Structure 1
Amino acid sequence: MIVSALLTSLGINFGLCILFFTLYSVLRKQPSNYEVYMPRLLADGLSQQRRFNLQMLLPTPGWVRRAWQPSEEEMLASAGLDAVVFMRIIILSLRIFCVAGIIGIFVLLPVNCTGNQLASIDFANLTSDSLDVFSISNVNNGSNKLWIHFSAVYIVTVFICCLLYYEYRYISSKRVTYFHSSKPQPHQFTILVRSIPVSVGISVSDSVERFFTQYHPSTYLSHVVVHRTGKIRNLISNTKKLYKRLIHFRTESPQSKFECGGCCGLFPHKGDLLEQYEKKFEDSEENLRLEQSDTSSAGEEVRAAFVSFKSRYGAATAFHMQQSVNPTQWLTEKAPEPHDVYWPFFSSSFMGRWISKLLVVLACISLTVLFIIPVLFVQGLANLAQLEVWFPFLKSILSITFVSQVITGYLPSLILLLFLKMAPPIMKFLSSIQGYISNSEIEKSACDKVLWFTIWNVFFGNVLSGSVFTQISILLEPKKIPAMLAVSVPAQASFCIAYVVTSGWTSVATELFRMIPFICSLISKPCVRSSDDEVEVPSLPYHKDIPRLLLFGLFGITYFFLAPLIVPFLLIYFCLAYIIYRNQFINVYAPKYETAGKYWPIVHHLMIFSLVLMHAIALGIFTLKKLPLASTLIIPLPVLTLLFNAYCSKRFLPIFTAYSAETLIKKDREDHNDATMAEFFARLETAYFDPALLPIQYSTNYDSRTSPLLPSTEV
């Protein structure tokens, strides 16, 4: 890629960012858009209707100041520890690339430019130069200047490891502090027990009661058996739809309700339609209640139950101990928060979950392999000469300078970005059928899948395809492979820069503008909203946004010494992300669950992987650049990095797996003299009732038919 192609991509994306920022600054002030740009404030009753003034039509940067103001403690109180961890990823990246940027731009870049291995830089016609001349490929083989790159690899590795240790320790302490400061929560006293053995004539509930009163008599409190409620959920969904239609029909003007439709009485009166809707709704409501009553019987029980204990330590003891001689029975898991439970999971058997996990692994591998097809197509677009060979009839069009710059500099990244948009929802669906018991675990698993899918296809599949797959003939001559990699692998940084600009700058700008919710709002505005409709407050899709942040971190760490020109673009991206996501946490997103920082180990391990990958690339580059001593001295670096990671895993990772006995007992003792604990334990006995079995109250006339189907004493 030449400099002019990069500048074209830069100009297009910079213009889009300015457009989105301007539109957001104006549209967010319009009361009709409050549900799009500040749904959280609207739901909390903190947004105020303002009188129209001219300033509402002018773009203003006041939102930037308001997003900057909240402290981390205020962010923790309003958005939770997961939001703080997310922002710490951005802060960590900013710290890393500030130091890497100083070294790369002011030290390594001048060294690369003074080389002439590929070509000398033509400063008089800089836009026609290839971006390769700014990379390490342009440094002469065997040059002592390569020792500067060697030193940079060591300095940045040590700096990143120090930051990772500090951040791991900081987040660990925040996690423990967050636990100590929290009020008693149901999931702290509860575990999930699966694969419950049941004898003939004995219900699952009786089996659980007998087992835990016998083996945990001093700590056992109560239990709630899980039921199969898939059919009920479908009925609830249909009943809700009928209810909304009925309310909408009732809110129409009285005149329109009783007008005749059509001619000669062929169409029913509106009054008849209203009666039909009321009859359908009453029938649906009655069917739902009957199905709830049938499902609450012992015959619809699943061999799983939420078991609650009188103390956190009692729940932790039951969770960590093997309950049965047969390790496939009485399997225990941590219970999620009640509102975080993913109820459809419980329809799977033990063998069904095991098979589904195997199928999901195969599906992820197949999806990753199939995705190489659009990756190869994207690389073909990035290579103009190859594109002319594939499509000779486009030669005249490709000869136009601006067209060729757009195709090679902007279009490949845009196409790859559009294909990657499909990955998060697919991976979340695959995780949902894998047997996880909570939405938070599903998103955490999807985050891992999306991360490695993206790394393989964008970094390995895309970056390396430009140096290997597009030069198949070289594979037939193995002696030429090292020479080809020494030049081509660093040269792929030009695509990475374009990808950061396209996928990074524009995506974070669209995150602020919220294009899809805004378009949906425009479409739904003509529809009449019911007064019963609540403002829908979304939550941040961690499984989509965390992998993007970490992918750009991988680009920066592995390429800062190869092509330091990438670092300024990354710094701009993370600066934009810092302000925009703070704004979104304040105005848009509300936490739907709380993992208390469990995403951080994913961040730490990916950073370690990035460092080791950088060391592997440095080893190959110094070897091919005929600096064998530097290659030898690089070898201890990945070994020391992995030893550092092993220490961090021993020191901090257990804190993210489970709380210590010291922490749990201390918290239990604090609550021992709390007068409100009796009321909490009373609520705990019913905290894990399936919402599908709770009484429905859609009817305007509440009578005995809507009394609870499950009495509070049933456990």
Structure 2
Amino acid sequence: MILSALLTSVGINLGLCLLYFTLYSILRKQPGNVVVYEPRWVAEEKSKQKRHFSLEGFLPSPGWVGRAWQLSEEELLSISGLDAVVFIRIYIFSLKVFTFAGIIGVCILLPINFLGDQLSFDFSDLTSKSLDSFSISNVDDGSNRLWIHWSAVYIFTAFVCYLLYIEYYYISSKRISYFYASKPQPHQFSLLVTSIPVSSGSSVTESVESFFTEYHSATYLSHSVVRQTGKLRRLLSDADKWYRKLVKLKAKNLTQKRFTRDGFLGLFGRKVDLLDHYENKLQDIEENVHMEQSSVVEKEVPAAFVSFKSRYGAAVALHIEQGVNPTEWVTEPAPEPLAIVQSLANLSQLETWFPFLESILSLTFVSEVITGYLPSLILQGFQWFVPPIMILLSSIQGYMALSQIQKSACVKLLWFTIWNIFFANVLSGTVLYKVNVFLEPKNIPVVLAAAVPAQASFFISYVVTSGWTSTASELFRLFPLISSFIKKKFAGKHDEDFEVPSIPYYGQIPKIVLFGLLGVTYFLLAPLILPFLLVYYCLGYIVFRNQLLNVYEPKFETGGTFWPIVHSSTIFSLVLMHIIAIGVFVLKKLPLASILTVPLPLLTLLFNDYCQKRFLPIFKSYSAESLIKKDHDNQNDPSMPEFLDKLVTAYRDPALMPINYSGRNDSHDSLLQHAAEV
């Protein structure tokens, strides 16, 4: 790519960003768009949007930037939780890294590259100059100036490792503080038990009660057995749909428009009163619900949510083997009780149909290979469908909690993205695909050193196109805007029908990490990419602070456990840079620099090992000291007895709870209440 082509791309994408910002600053002021641009405040009835026409509302203004900038970390913590704070700190960390890298790269390395004589250059036509002239490829072979590049690699690595340590220490401390300050949560006191052995003549409920009463008598509180309620949930969904129709019909109070035909599209069949039709339909479904609820009591799955009187009691039961047979009484953390995950109802079917899935997908190597070697065509043609596919794979893998599913999907999507965006473009058509390269790993640094710089112009353009424009479009929210318009104009839905979205961490974090990989890798090779990366991270920092303030509402809280993924990815990026640097110095006929670079990846991996031993256990589970201290603090909390009473019912399947849409009262409720209690 020549310089003029890059400038053209920058101009187009910068224009698109300004267009998105301008439209956003105008559209966000319109009363009809408040559910698109401030949904979380609409849900909490705090929106200050004016509900009347104003000429000022059609003038763009940058006021939203100031509000997003002034949002403090403590305010963000109280609004969106620790995960949001960690998400923003990923941007802050990246800004620190690439500001430092930009100073060295642009002010020192870039001029050295530009003044090299390796590539021919005509100063009379600067705009037609290849971007390769700004890369290390333009430095003369064997030049002593390459020692400046070698020094820069060491200095940059030391600085990034220092920041990684500081950030890991800060977030781990924040995680503990957040835990101490948090209110009791049901999932802190509970766990999910699967593969429950059931003796002949007894039920799952009796087995769970007997086992935990005997072996955890001091801390066991209650349990809720999982049942197969798929059909019941569908009936309840239908009941809810017809009930909403009935309520809207009664609210309209249009007697003359209540009569229609019950056939296709209201054009065929007998003429009926919609009010009576809806009520009869609702009563029929309610009868079916009661019958299904009565029968589902016996449809037990060998799995149960078990709750304890203390966090420490739950932790002890979670982290030790429950029985002499390790394949029975398998425990895992309980998901957040937003709702019982539907896949739980199908545990027995999954074990019967796909008994090999969990063991295969749980292997890190297999998971990474499958997601990494999916054809690049999938990413290019179906990039919108890749994140949901990763969510599906994580669900099949056996994760139940939404937080666990998103964390697993984040790792899968990260490796998929790194392979299909970076390696597939860099290595496509090179000899690295030949088997003999893998049989001789010593050739890999040289192959990477030859292949990676050749794609510098592509990745600079990619940062501008995919980074700048996609971040600005996140602010504009085109698809939610169109969806809101269609619902209002054609479906007749209003503000009360919307749902506040949650930020898809699993989709955004891999993108941030990918651009970090590009910046670290090309810091040595083509530092021209660094200013464009800084613009991307600045945009992301402001845009997502605004979105977390006004748009997204957290649906779960992991306590900042996404950070170890970013830490490990940064270490991977550094080691990849070192390997490429070794090959570059070999190609540039500076073997001594290549030899002196060899210790650097080893030192980086040793540093990573220290960080993982020092900090990672804090992110996997809370210490006994933390749990017992928190339990002791709660003993003096007057609201704790009420919480424990609610904990008994926290994991009961909502599908088994009594319903009464029609206002009738019958004997089913006593049976359903009994079913809910077990």
Provide TM-score, normalisation by structure 1. 0.88
SS in 2 for 1:222: strand
Query: Could you list the runs of 5+ residues in structure 1 that have no partner in the other structure?
Result: 376-415
Verify the 8 A CA contact 1:244 1:530 in the aligned structure 2: no
Per-residue deviation, 1:208 = 0.7
Alpha-carbon separation, structure 2, partners of 1:436 and 1:486 = 40
| CA 705–539 in structure 1, closer or farther in 2 if over 3 Å, else same | farther
Match of 2:217, as an amino acid? P
Q: CA deviation at 1:6?
A: 1.5
Instruction: Name the SS of the counterpart of 2:373 in structure 1.
Output: helix
Distance 1:340 1:127, change over 3 A: farther
1:2-61 alpha-carbon deviations (Å, 9 max, x no partner): 112222221221111111111111111111111111100100111034132211001110
Letter in 2 for 1:334: P
Equivalent residue runs for 1:174-213 within 5 Å: 174-213=174-213
Q: Percent identity?
A: 59
| 1:680 has 2:643 as partner | yes
Q: Are the aligned partners of 1:450 and 1:544 in contact in 2 as well (CA < 8 Å)?
A: yes
Distance 2:675 2:559 in 1: 31
Q: Residue 468 of structure 2 contacts residue 536 of structure 2 at CA under 8 Å; is this kept in 1?
A: yes
Question: Are positions 1:67 and 2:60 aligned together?
Answer: no
| Contact kept? 1:220, 1:309, Cα under 8 Å | yes
Q: Per-residue displacement from partner, 1:217-250 (whole Å, max 9, x unpaired)?
A: 1111111111111112222222233333334444
Q: Deviations over 1:586-631 (max 9, x none)?
A: 1000000001111111011000000000000001001111111110
Pair 1:290–1:153, CA change in 2 (3 A): same
Per the alignment, in what secondary structure is the counterpart of residue 492 of structure 1? helix
Q: 2: distance between equivalents of 1:562 and 1:459?
A: 15
Q: Specify whether residues 471 and 433 from structure 1 end up closer, same or farther in structure 2 by C-alpha distance, changes over 3 A only.
A: closer
Which deviates more, 277-286 or 306-315? 277-286
Question: What is the match of residue 256 of structure 1?
Answer: 257
Offset, 1:694: 2.3
Q: What amino acid sits opposite 2:54 in the alignment?
A: N
Equivalent residue number for residue 551 of structure 1: 514
What's 2:356 paired with?
355
The alignment status of 1:567 with 2:530, answered yes or no, reads yes
1:507-546 map, 5 Å: 507-527=470-490, 529=492, 533-546=496-509
Amino acid at match of 2:469: T
Instruction: String of CA shifts for 1:291-323, please: whole Å, max 9, x gaps.
Output: 12221x2x2111111111111111111111111
Equivalent in 383, 395, 398 of residue 435 of structure 1: 398
Could you tell me which residue of structure 2 aligns to residue 328 of structure 1?
Answer: 327
Match of 1:642 in 2: 605
SS at match of 2:239: helix
- The question of whether the paired residues in 1 share the 8 Å contact of 2:471 and 2:540 is answered with yes
Aligned residue runs from structure 1 range 163-242, under 5 A? 163-242=163-242
Aligned to 1:397: none
User: Could you tell me whether the CA contact under 8 Å between 2:23 and 2:60 is conserved in 1?
Assistant: yes
Question: How many matched pairs?
Answer: 665
Say which is worse superposed, 352-361 or 250-259, in terms of deviation.
352-361
Structure 2: gaps spanning 5 or more residues: none
1:47-86 aligned at under 5 Å gives the runs 47-50=47-50, 51-86=52-87
Q: What displacement does 1:183 show?
A: 1.3
On the 8 A contact 2:656/2:676 being kept in 1, the answer is no
Deviations 1:308-350 (A, max 9, x none): 1111111111111111000101111111221165231342245
Kept in 2, the 8 Å contact 1:353–1:434? The answer is no
Q: Which moved more, 1:363-372 or 1:109-118?
A: 363-372
Change (3 A) 1:627 1:78: same
1:188–1:312 Cα contact (<8 Å) kept: yes
Shift in alpha-carbon separation, 1:274–1:365, aligned structure 2, 3 A: farther
> Is contact 1:345–1:436 with CA below 8 Å preserved after alignment?
no
| Alpha-carbon separation, structure 1, partners of 2:90 and 2:30 | 33
Asked whether the equivalents of residues 467 and 485 of structure 1 are also in contact (C-alpha less than 8 Å), the reply is no
Q: Which residue of 1 aligns with 2:306?
A: 307
1:156-167 pair list within 5 angstroms:
156-167=156-167
Deviations 1:445-481 (A, max 9, x none): 1100000000011111112226559999x99xx9999
SS in 1 for 2:301: strand
Q: Per-residue CA shift, 1:658-684, capped at 9, x if unaligned?
A: 111111111111112222211111111
Counterpart in the other structure of 2:2: 2
Could you give the per-residue CA deviations for residues 397-417 of structure 1, whole angstroms, max 9, x where no partner exists? xxxxxxxxxxxxxxxxxxx4x
Alignment-mate amino acid for residue 570 of structure 2: M
Aligned to 1:133: 133
Alignment match, 1:692: 655
Whole-angstrom distance in 1 between the partners of 2:570 and 2:291 = 54
Shift of 1:494: 0.7
Contact 2:91/2:541 (<8 A) preserved: yes
8 Å CA contact 1:341–1:439 kept in 2: the answer is no
Q: Which residue matches 2:295?
A: 294
Shift of 1:281: 2.3
Paired position in structure 2 for 1:371: 375
Q: 1:587 is matched with which residue?
A: 550
Shift of 1:135: 0.5
Q: Is the CA contact (8 Å cut-off) linking 2:336 and 2:556 kept in structure 1?
A: yes
Q: Cα offset for 1:504?
A: 0.5
SS of 1:217's equivalent in the other structure is coil
Larger displacement relative to structure 2 (175-184 or 336-345): 336-345
1:328 is paired with a residue whose SS is: coil
* Whole-Å separation in 2 of the counterparts to 1:258 and 1:482: 77
* Helix, strand or coil at the partner of 1:86: helix
Q: 1:630 and 2:616 equivalent?
A: no
User: Is 542-551 or 212-221 further displaced after alignment?
Assistant: 212-221
Query: Residues of 2 paired with 1:609 and 1:363: CA distance?
Result: 18
Q: 2: CA distance between counterparts of 1:683 and 1:323?
A: 26
Cα drift, residue 366 of structure 1? 5.2
Q: Secondary structure at the match of 2:224?
A: strand
CA distance in 1, matches of 2:604, 2:630: 36
